[in-house]
A and B are shown apart, each in its own frame.
Chain A
Amino acid sequence: MLWYLGRRLLQVIPVFLGATLLLYAMVFLRPGDPVAALGGERGLPEAVQEQIRAEYNLDKPFIVQYLLFLRGVVTLDFGVDFRGREITEVIANAFPVTIQLALMALAIEAIFGVGFGLFAGMRKGGIFDGSALVVSLFFIAVPTFVVGFVMQIVVGVRLGWLPVAVGRDPDFISLLMPAMVLAAVSFAYVLRLTRTSVAENLSADYVRTARARGLRRSQVTGRHVLRNSLIPVVTFLGADIGALMSGAIITEGIFNINGVGGTLYDAIIRGESVTVVSLTTVLVLVYIGANLLVDLLYAALDPRIRYA
């Protein structure tokens, strides 16, 4: 296991370097000069532009810029943005809300996805199964922002059950609706995954053995079927943490939440390339980290993977 852990960790490093280099190149190796655009219509004096370029290392060759940026990532000092704010501080301010939102969404999709999926899988081909499949397809097909608007109109405005938008200090209640919206698509995937997995495991030999031993139905379901069916689901949920955090861009925009998504979107609109790259880098790190965690978890659960 230790050997596997070391090998996987070593594999992550080139992936991280490649992914950040790719993003960095996409944002900075493009036509147009972010500094010249800063001054608006009139433009900034040449000397000021030069100074800003020197300050942000934009006058150096691309690869040097990238290496300086990497140093910043490692030392957790991303520098300042064009408005003079510490980017590290901006990130530190933005992440807690998004992490809370993502974790709430994760809990919602895990509880409801696994619950409904289990029921559907136990009675494959039944009425509940059929309607669960149609509903899950619906959630996959309807884009997040449409679900968000419909929820805002129906639950927020017409019924008045939950607050429509999130203010400066988000609490649990006000984050509930955004979390549900964020969870919608993944909920559908978790449901379908659980259903298929449960239906498959129900016909497995060890379930027949368990029944033959005279175990009660609930024991067979809980102890044998569910536990074994959850392995692929846990994999999906783990990898989904990263996807949820980047998917929050849309949800945070709709509900006016000042998280990573909101900050990132702001930075994109303002052309704050340094902030954009820094935030995306952190998101990519989270994504890679989540995938790594899942791989390790999987290896811990299934010895065959370790020795492959």
Chain B
Amino acid sequence: MPENRYENPGGPVTPSPRPGQERYVAPVDEGGLGAVDAVKADDAPTSLWRDAWLQMRSRWLFWVSAVIIVLVVLVAAFPGLFTSLDPRVCNLAQALEPPQAGHPFGFDRQGCDIYTRTIYGARASVVVGVLATTMVVVLGTAIGAIAGYYGKWFDTILSRITDIFFAIPLVLAAIVIMSVTTNRTSFTVAFVLALFGWTQIARITRGTVLSVKNNEFVTAARSLGMGRGQILWRHVLPNSAAPIIVYATVALGQFIVAEATLSFLGIGLPPSTVSWGGDISAAQGAIRTAPEILLYPAGGLALTVLGFMMMGDVVRDALDPKARKR
């Protein structure tokens, strides 16, 4: 083996050209282009959603909020799984009794089991929150998308209507309207909240649709002969979905708080419906003697809202590439 005394093992190496080549050509995997080629074509293409999912599942906050949300939804759907008692069966003789076997949270002023009422209270909050959010997303997206996509006088009229509804604070409007509403159900509460809560989503959707609709893929779709409505539905809306989803998650939490506020004021859900807001309102009467009975429904409420708010945070971070980089 001929020894080259000038060769420095750590220094630059100039490899000899391969047979048939005039000078050295780096194999593909050594050059910078190798990294590009190394992406296997049969891998699923990385989309915004896939990236977001990969990023989300590595955060503990995502798992904590997911567990809270799943638990709350489970409790709301099947309260019977978590307690065998009836929340409406109360014994006044047991009023304000402390926690005991089978009644971990004790009894409230009416002698109802607080644990059972806290479990059954989840349904009202979740139903109102989900209903109101669904209505808001449908209404807000439709109005915002039509205003942003069709423009011209559609935009003028719809934007003015949005401004009008935006000028009335949500809780104020809900209080005024619910106070004159005699038929109070989960649906009417959700409807009133949605009626004044859709403006933010409409504004967000209008903004994103405006920025999406001038993209090349929209021009391409149009030149392929796709109809305007079809383009809006198939191309523009899916590409504007990210901010809507983020806002909807946060809005769900806000609607739950608003519903509890209304029920607390006595103009939300009727007393016959077990709800956290109503129970907090009832506990208010014993605030000096037994303040702890207030904490259970309040805790359930806070935990639920916290779950959705944290999820909103995580989803926003995951869907915003600008925030991800840092």
Where the two chains meet, the residues of A that have a C-beta atom closer than 8 Å to any C-beta of B are 11, 14-16, 18-19, 22-23, 26-27, 30-32, 124, 137-138, 140-146, 149, 152-153, 157, 199, 203, 242-243, 246-247, 249-250, 253, 264-265, 268-269, 273, 276, 280, 283-284, 287-288, 291
Known: A141-B302, A146-B280. A157 touches B288 (CB 8 A): yes
How many whole Å from A62's CB to the nearest CB in chain B? 15
Q: Which of A199, A243, A253, A265 contacts B169 (CB 8 A)?
A: A243
Which of B172, B267, B277 gathers the greatest number of chain A CB atoms within 10 Å? Answer: B172
How many whole Å from A155's CB to the nearest CB in chain B? 13
Task: Please determine whether A153 and B291 come into contact, CB atoms closer than 8 angstroms.
Answer: yes
Task: Please determine whether B168 and A32 come into contact, CB atoms closer than 8 angstroms.
Answer: no
- Of chain A, the residue at the smallest CB distance from B253 is A141
Which residues of B are found within 8 Å of A273, using beta-carbon distances?
A: 180
Q: Which of A23, A146, A152, A269 contacts B168 (CB 8 A)?
A: A23
Which residues of B are found within 8 Å of A243, using beta-carbon distances?
A: 169
Which residues of A are found within 8 Å of B180, using beta-carbon distances?
A: 26-27, 30, 32, 273
Which residues of A are found within 8 Å of B277, using beta-carbon distances?
A: 143
Known: A143-B260, A246-B169. A11 touches B163 (CB 8 A): yes
Which residues of B are found within 8 Å of A11, using beta-carbon distances?
A: 163
B313 within 8 A of A: yes
In the bound assembly, the distance between CA atoms of A264 and B165 in angstroms comes to 20
Say whether chain B's binding surface is mostly helix, strand, loop, or mixed.
Answer: helix
Kindly list the 8 A-B residue pairs having the minimum CB-CB distance in the complex, ordered from nearest: A18-B164, A141-B306, A141-B305, A246-B172, A246-B169, A268-B179, A19-B167, A146-B298
Which residues of A are found within 8 Å of B298, using beta-carbon distances?
A: 142-143, 146, 149
How many whole Å from B266's CB to the nearest CB in chain A? 9
Task: Please determine whether B160 and A268 come into contact, CB atoms closer than 8 angstroms.
Answer: no
How many whole Å from A279's CB to the nearest CB in chain B? 9
B218 within 8 A of A: no
How many whole Å from B10's CB to the nearest CB in chain A? 35
- Of chain B, the residue at the smallest CB distance from A199 is B326
In the bound assembly, the distance between CA atoms of A273 and B160 in angstroms comes to 27
Task: Please determine whether B173 and A23 come into contact, CB atoms closer than 8 angstroms.
Answer: yes
Task: Please determine whether A19 and B175 come into contact, CB atoms closer than 8 angstroms.
Answer: no
Task: Please determine whether B176 and A268 come into contact, CB atoms closer than 8 angstroms.
Answer: yes
B257 within 8 A of A: yes
Known: A149-B294, A152-B287. A137 touches B169 (CB 8 A): no
Task: Please determine whether A146 and B173 come into contact, CB atoms closer than 8 angstroms.
Answer: no
Task: Please determine whether A149 and B291 come into contact, CB atoms closer than 8 angstroms.
Answer: yes
Task: Please determine whether A283 and B167 come into contact, CB atoms closer than 8 angstroms.
Answer: no
Q: Which of A140, A146, A247, A280 contacts B176 (CB 8 A)?
A: A280
B265 within 8 A of A: yes
B128 within 8 A of A: no
Task: Please determine whether B287 and A249 come into contact, CB atoms closer than 8 angstroms.
Answer: no
Task: Please determine whether A288 and B177 come into contact, CB atoms closer than 8 angstroms.
Answer: no
In the bound assembly, the distance between CA atoms of A203 and B164 in angstroms comes to 39
Contact with A along B182-194 (1 / 0, CB 8 A): 1000000000000
In the bound assembly, the distance between CA atoms of A152 and B313 in angstroms comes to 31
Chosen A-B contacts, 22 in total, with CB atoms closer than 8 Å, are: A11-B163, A18-B160, A22-B165, A26-B180, A138-B302, A141-B302, A141-B303, A142-B298, A143-B277, A143-B301, A146-B294, A146-B301, A149-B280, A149-B294, A153-B287, A153-B288, A249-B171, A253-B265, A268-B175, A268-B267, A276-B176, A287-B167
Which residues of A are found within 8 Å of B179, using beta-carbon distances?
A: 268-269, 276
In the bound assembly, the distance between CA atoms of A258 and B79 in angstroms comes to 41
How many whole Å from A274's CB to the nearest CB in chain B? 13
Task: Please determine whether A15 and B306 come into contact, CB atoms closer than 8 angstroms.
Answer: no
Task: Please determine whether B172 and A283 come into contact, CB atoms closer than 8 angstroms.
Answer: yes
Contact with A along B280-322 (1 / 0, CB 8 A): 1000100110010010001001110110011001000000000
B261 within 8 A of A: yes
Task: Please determine whether A16 and B288 come into contact, CB atoms closer than 8 angstroms.
Answer: no
B120 within 8 A of A: no
Q: Which of A19, A142, A149, A249 contacts B284 (CB 8 A)?
A: A149
In the bound assembly, the distance between CA atoms of A249 and B264 in angstroms comes to 12
Which residues of B are found within 8 Å of A144, using beta-carbon distances?
A: 261
In the bound assembly, the distance between CA atoms of A11 and B180 in angstroms comes to 30
Known: A26-B176, A32-B182. A145 touches B264 (CB 8 A): yes
Which of A16, A146, A149, A247 gathers the greatest number of chain B CB atoms within 10 Å? Answer: A146
Task: Please determine whether A137 and B287 come into contact, CB atoms closer than 8 angstroms.
Answer: no
How many whole Å from B59's CB to the nearest CB in chain A? 12
Task: Please determine whether A137 and B306 come into contact, CB atoms closer than 8 angstroms.
Answer: yes
Known: A137-B309, A246-B169, A283-B172. A143 touches B257 (CB 8 A): yes
Which residues of B are found within 8 Å of A19, using beta-carbon distances?
A: 164-165, 167-168
